[in-house]
Amino acid sequence: MEVWAWLLAYVLGFALLQLVLYRYFSREQGALDGATPGGTEATGRPVGESGAGAGEGRLRCQHCGATNKHDPQFTYCKQCASPLR
């Protein structure tokens, strides 16, 4: 009976983890859906005054146009996972 209890605990814990991850990523996706690119050309350089509400220290993805925080530690877009330049 002890093995079944551990198995049940593992399955329930895994399901709970999946639910937490789903909620986290769906909330983040909802915040990105409202963002629109400032223009038709995505340059990948920090967005200045011409950006749509994005402040300094932001990068625009060349592939999808999403705005990402400028952080040397992160080199990929949060939206589409393409490399940022």
Domain that holds residue 53: 2-69
Predicted pLDDT of residue 45: 47
Beta bridge partners of 59: 46, 68
Q: What is the number of structural domains in the chain?
A: 1
Query: Could you read off the pLDDT tens digit of each residue along the chain, which spans 85 residues?
Result: 699 999 999 999 999 999 999 998 887 665 555 554 544 444 444 444 344 444 567 888 888 888 888 777 878 888 898 888 7
Q: What pLDDT, on the 0 to 100 scale, is given for residue 27?
A: 76
- Whether 46 maps to a domain, the answer reads yes
- Whether 76 is in a domain gets the answer no
Q: Is the pTM of this model over 0.75?
A: no
Q: Provide the pLDDT for residue 83.
A: 85
58 lies in a domain?
Answer: yes
Interior/surface letters 55-85, b for 16+ CB within 10 angstroms, e for the rest: eeebbbbbeebbbbeeeeeeeebbbeeeebe
